[in-house]
Structure 1
Amino acid sequence: MAGKAGTTRGRSMTVNMDDIARLAEVSKPTVSRVLNGSPLVSEATRERVLQVARAHGYAVNRNAQKLRQARTETIAVMLDFGSHRHGRIADPFVFELLAGVSEALSVRNQDLLLSPPGLSDAQACIDLIAGRAADGFIFLGQGGREPMLRDLSRSATPFVVWGAVNPENSYCAVGSDNRLGGRLAGDLFVTRGARRWLFVGNVEHEEIRLRHEGLRQAGDAADASIDLLLVEHMAYSAVYAGAAAWLTRHPAPDAVFAFSDTAAMAVIAAFRDAGLSAPDDYALVGYNNIPPAADFTPAITTIEQETHLAGAILVEKLMQQIEGSRAKSTMLPTRLIVRDT
């Protein structure tokens, strides 16, 4: 009877690692190894300790645990809020990247801190690392942050960027060959006999500038005319409004290269409302090869970025830096996916 009362009383009270060690009949360092996932503990011992911990409602205080460790085991991921209207991101491509990064971090038992858009300068990022909120940064998109990224590269802050790979940049980047993507789109327009091309995108962003540059290289070789529709925001609604307004002031193009598949969908809708359809009236190429592009009507011809590889590579490059090594930029395979448009 006394034993049962003691057990009940023990379960109702807060237990600590000393209690878990005594109940599991192991040392306190062994309990610590088990709770930290150390491989230096046998499976039988691990299971016994975990069973005791669960039975007594013991939970690891991860924040306190991190304070005792040299690293926080947390990675801050920065989305490019500034490139989207009112900071609202709706492009599936961004969330595909984020999902890949999240999966790669979970494999390494790293926490993901989705950082707020307020970290707008290099010093704020440096302060976040110094305050032990994270061990490093993954930036998903350069957008208009290029000056800040260059400033941050002059510090010892570990970070990696999804975006344009430029040999002149001093930081590590992972991305597709944007200039090649533009040339592939232009070469397709040439084979289809198109002569009046329209590029849709904000060329102040490095990735998009390189796509426009590649398109122009193909256009110059074929003596094609290329107009530019500059859209300030990447949102579907902004592209739709821009494309609809552009058509009221210019002759319709016979080929359109959009900076993303989401933008391509907006162009198709705006042109359809103006009585134009792809591919009958114009050829169209998007970028990213997001899953909806294949199921859209018409199915969108696009430039593929291998995002299924991107998350793992971004995390690997960042961990190399955190562990004291130098990480080199990586260019992913870039290819044209031909569909209905």
Structure 2
Amino acid sequence: MAVTIQDVAKAASVSVATVSRVVNNIPLVSEDTRQRVLAAIEDLGYEPNEVARSLKVRKTNTIGIILDDITRPQYTTVSRGATDACWMYGYNVILANTDSDEEKEESYLKVLLQKQCDGILVINRKVNDNFAEKLASADIPVVLGTISDKEKKFTRVSIDNVKAGYDAKKYLYENGHTDIGYIMASREYYTVCEERIIGFNKAADEFGINAKEEWRIEAVTTKFADNDAVEGYDAMEQILSSKQLPTAIFAANDEIAIGAIKCIEAKGLKVPADISVIGFNDYWISEWFKPQITTVSYPMYDVGAVCARQLIKKINSGSKELNS
């Protein structure tokens, strides 16, 4: 038979109300009494009813994470940082993969609210206006990881992607390149790519860099292929069909860079002798790939951890401010 709160109260010679206060970390219990109750809980192996407890204190110590696709390296690493931080602060996590599908996003948001999550962390490609309104009306703390909404309503944790795009272009320029192209996901569907392109164009204007239209490739679909390396290969093949070739390519991530390099070599050209390629995110594979990929480092694990800490801070402060 399961141990009840009444059993604990009897063993500790206190009232049921006192046991409840100890379990829910409510003050007004002396330290001596609290220790006696805790000892009884441990001796009897009492497990509090978390559902009943959450209804009473209006807190479930659960965070919902809405993300695009856990199998993609960037989301895997950011999510790991977030879940590790949640564990450290005593929070459980519910993960929801949406594939950037609006119907899934709204459906999973409803589920997480029904599960009474204390807060929501969104790690997606972009937050569209409709989903942003749904999040705003949820009336619980929300933090965006790596992305931002159009109206900048929500707290966001990310690197400066505009500066990252600028720095990548500047690096190539300082290494003697003036004819530079890029392979990006569609800026319409990826917040980070839109920002990196802004930085890329800013550097192009500042340093007088040639970036022909045919060297600038964006995905025409809502998302890259299941294999970004394939997308990188196909995009690079399109660039190599140009009459004049660039001397360097800036890729949206390291997988795309790998595909681009494979295509360049398949056409009988050498990297970096004929065309240099710079990736983004600093995936582990970039160090082991041959030729080794020059890449922009992105502290994805740290971004995830900071996201979680920001969200927990909001939860504990009781803040309903969206961007704070």
- What TM-score results when the alignment is normalised by the length of structure 1? 0.76
Give the drift of 1:71. Answer: 2.0
**What is the Cα deviation at residue 104 of structure 1?**
1.4
Distance 2:19 2:284 in 1: 46
Decide which of 110, 122, 129 is 1:147's aligned counterpart.
Answer: 129
Shift of 1:164: 4.1
Determine if contact 1:229/1:243 at 8 Å carries over to the other structure: yes
Match of 2:184 in 1: 201
2:66 pairs with 1:78: yes
Work out the percentage of aligned pairs sharing the same amino acid.
23
2:156 matched residue in structure 1: 173
Q: Which amino acid aligns with 2:193?
A: I
Which has the higher mean CA deviation after the structures are superposed, 303-312 or 99-108?
303-312
Counterpart check, 1:278 vs 2:271: yes
1:223 equivalent in structure 2: 209
Q: Give secondary structure in 2 for the equivalent of 1:113.
A: strand
State how 1:257-268 maps to structure 2 within 5 Å. Answer: 257-268=250-261
CA distance in 2, matches of 1:313, 1:242: 36
For 2:234, the equivalent position in structure 1 comes to 242
Structure 1 residue 97, shift from structure 2 partner: 0.6
Question: 1:275 and 1:63, CA in 2 relative to 1: closer, same or farther beyond 3 A?
Answer: farther
Which structure 2 residues correspond to residues 175-190 of structure 1 after superposition, within 5 A? 175-190=158-173
Distance 1:185 1:61 in 2: 53
1:138 Cα deviation after fit: 0.6
**Higher mean displacement: 114-123 or 144-153:** 114-123
Q: d(CA) in 2 for partners of 1:195 and 1:74? A: 51
- 1:53 aligned to which of 44, 52, 60: 44
Q: Answer whether contact 1:260 1:288 (CA < 8 A) is retained.
A: yes
Deviation at 1:75, TM superposition (A): 1.1
2:57 alignment partner, SS class: coil
Q: What's the TM-score, normalizing by structure 2?
A: 0.80
For the 8 Å contact 1:254–1:282, the answer to whether it is kept is: yes
Q: Residues 50 and 262 of structure 1: is their aligned pair in 2 closer, same or farther, counting only changes over 3 Å?
A: farther
Return the offset for 1:320. 4.2
* Structure 1 residues 321 and 125, CA gap change in structure 2 (3 angstroms): farther
CA shift for structure 1 position 100: 0.9
Q: Partner residue of 2:73? A: 92
Q: 1:279 to 1:266 in 2, by over 3 A?
A: same
Quickly say closer, same or farther: Cα 1:107–1:74, change in 2 above 3 A: same
Task: Using the TM superposition, name which of 256-265 and 304-313 deviates more.
Answer: 304-313
Alpha-carbon distance between aligned partners in 2 of 1:299 and 1:196, rounded to the nearest angstrom: 22
Q: Displacement of 1:276 after TM fit? A: 3.2
CA shift at 1:110, angstroms? 1.5
Q: Does structure 1 conserve the Cα–Cα contact (< 8 Å) formed by 2:63 and 2:121?
A: yes
AA in 2 matched with 1:185: A
242-251 vs 105-114, which moves further: 242-251
Contact 1:153 1:171 in 2 (8 A): no
Q: How far, CA to CA, are the matches of 1:47 and 1:269 in structure 2? A: 62
Per the alignment, in what secondary structure is the counterpart of residue 112 of structure 1?
strand
Which residue in 2 is equivalent to 1:14? 2
Q: Out of 288, 291, 301, which is 1:298 matched to?
A: 291
Query: Cα 1:223–1:127, aligned 2, differ >3 Å: closer, same or farther?
Result: closer
Separation of aligned partners in 2, 1:64 and 1:218:
57
Quick one: distance in 2 between partners of 1:216 and 1:119?
A: 31
1:326 correspondence with 2:321: yes
Give the unaligned 5+ runs of structure 2: none
Instruction: Write the distance in 2 (CA, Å) between the matches of 1:107 and 1:258.
Output: 35
Q: Is the 8 A contact 2:12 2:37 kept in 1?
A: no
The range that moved more, 317-326 or 276-285, is: 317-326
